[in-house]
Amino acid sequence: MSLRPPGWLARPLLAALLLRLAALALAPQVPLLGDPLGYLFLARNLRTLGELGDLSGGVRPPLYPALIALGLDGDAGDAAAFPGAYLVQIGCDLAALAVLALLARRCFGTRAAQMTAWAHALFPSAALYAGAVVMAEPVALLCGALALERLDALDRALPGATRRWLPAAAGLGLALAAGLLVKELAALTAAAALLALLLRPTGGPRRVLALAASVAVMAACLAPWMARNLQRHGVPLATGSFGHLSVVVDNAPPGESGWLLLQQAEDLPAKVRLSREILRRSLLEYPGTTAARAVQRLRMLLGPEVMLPAWVAAGLDGYEPDSRSNVALVRDAWRLPPGWGRALQGLVGVAGVALFALAAAGVVLAGPGLLRRSALLQVALLLAATALTVAVGRYRLVLLPFALPLAGLALATWLDPALRQAAEPARRRGALRAGLATAALLALTILVLPAP
């Protein structure tokens, strides 16, 4: 069996590799700020001491630090991550490209698969998060792609015998667990995938058995990490704790400081209890303030990318990010001063508008089915979760595994006369309307509206 990719996949894979290696040239110029510092600290601990260690702010999931630890060398300081940790990220990103392209081929044909691969290869945010910063996004993308591929395989195998669908169900559980061990936002992907399976219109008891098998495998994979957190921190966390901390900081009662409330909590169990209590109070005691914050957060989620351009601007333009709070950072970097960072912000903004507009058109073209159902569930869960907790434009990247195959379908239909002719006229018109409406909305929120 040859490991050489087919011609339709080899070219976008090569282009993706070259773009990410070009992004790698930026890495020494991008300062390690915020999350990258914590990830690199954990990876260093694993490499030098053989244990994950703890961050003062909370618990990070272990899989991403373990992977980039493989790429660290003996250099002192931040240089230890270059280039090995970035090459690990690039490898994960290229693997995700291949998985999503093969999924698109299975669902929509070779032409759509080729367009999916090119859309991923040329998407600037994917290239820069893989090659220029120490961040979990490329590994999270790979886990999401594997989960979606296994979900589709399970959906296709479910009408058959148990021996046909059980391996796919186990693979889905394994991929979802891996995602949770990389990034807290993977909880949304797990919920969307499992709900899409549960809401399958046919399958009866068999789909429930498949769901149970996936959950059982996921729980078994997460059990050692949960046991470690229970023994070490007193909380059986299935992923990280930074989601809880963000809830406290960004949802504190009016007139109170979330940071001060966190400092008053003695340990991690107290912080987790505090986050749940504040979330409850935000919904029941001050719903008006919570609603106003939700509108602000949706503006931030649908607004321009701020963190990646701000980091690049800090390295190349002398920009100093406002790190007092998440909201302060977003407002300050909503429109960066002229320079490399602002140019990058414009590039990733336009690319985001195009990708998600194409994905919206692809949702209509794909018609009813598991891929569309899971994508719509993921969008709904992301909007709800960020409106109620914390938001930043970067969180849109959790949609990439779902968006890229659908965008590939739309691109293929648009560019290939035979595919365009084969699509139902009503569906083509609906896809055009959905794509244009999404493009208009995102162009307004990303490129036009001022900071909230």
Number of domains in the chain: 1
What span, in angstroms and rounded, lies between the C-alpha atoms of 370 and 435? 20
Can you say whether residue 325 is alpha, beta or left, with left for phi > 0 and alpha for psi between -120 and 50 degrees? beta
Is residue 388 within 8 A of residue 290, CB to CB? The reply is: yes
Instruction: Report angle CA 317, 318, 320 to the nearest 5 degrees.
Output: 120
Residue 1's pLDDT is 44
Instruction: Kindly calculate the radius of gyration of the chain based on its CA atoms and give it in whole angstroms.
Output: 22
Residue 386's pLDDT is 92
In tens digits, the chain (452 residues) has pLDDT values of 456 778 899 999 999 999 999 999 999 988 888 888 899 999 998 988 888 888 877 899 999 999 999 999 876 666 788 999 999 999 999 999 999 999 999 999 999 999 999 999 999 999 999 999 999 999 999 999 999 999 999 999 999 888 899 999 999 999 999 999 999 999 999 999 999 999 998 878 899 999 999 999 999 999 999 999 999 999 999 999 988 888 898 899 998 888 899 888 888 999 999 999 999 999 999 999 999 999 999 999 999 999 999 999 999 999 988 877 778 888 999 999 999 999 999 999 999 999 999 999 999 999 999 999 999 999 999 999 999 988 889 999 999 999 999 999 999 999 999 888 888 999 999 999 999 999 999 999 999 999 98
Closest CA to 144 of 361, 404, 426: 404
Closest CA to 141 of 95, 172, 108: 95
Residue 84's pLDDT is 92
3-state SS class at 5: coil
Residue 77's pLDDT is 65
Q: Tokens 């107290």 map to which residue?
A: 270
**Sign of the CA dihedral 127, 135, 190, 354?**
negative
Residue 357, CA distances (Å) to 181, 411, 432 in order: 31, 11, 9
Residue 256 lies in a domain: no
Cβ-based neighbour number of residue 114 at 10 Å: 23
Residue 419 lies in a domain: yes
Residue 413 lies in a domain: yes
Is residue 348 within 8 A of residue 124, CB to CB? The reply is: yes
Amino acid type, 91: G
Residue 434, CA distances (Å) to 427, 430, 437, 441, 451 in order: 10, 6, 5, 11, 26
Angle between helices 370-388 and 400-415 (to 10 degrees): 130
Residue 310 lies in a domain: no
Residue 409's pLDDT is 97
DSSP string, 155-168: HHHTTS-HHHHHHH
3-state secondary structure 270-316: HHHHHHHHHHHHHHHCCHHHHHHHHHHHHHHHCCCCCHHHHHHHHHH
Is residue 183 within 8 A of residue 64, CB to CB? The reply is: yes
DSSP string, 197-223: HHT-SS-HHHHHHHHHHHHHHHHHHHH
Closest CA to 268 of 61, 64, 54: 54
Residue 124 lies in a domain: yes
Residue 261 lies in a domain: no
Residue 315 lies in a domain: no
Residue 203's pLDDT is 75
Residue 394 lies in a domain: yes
Amino acid type, 304: P
Q: Which domain holds residue 226?
A: 7-235+320-448
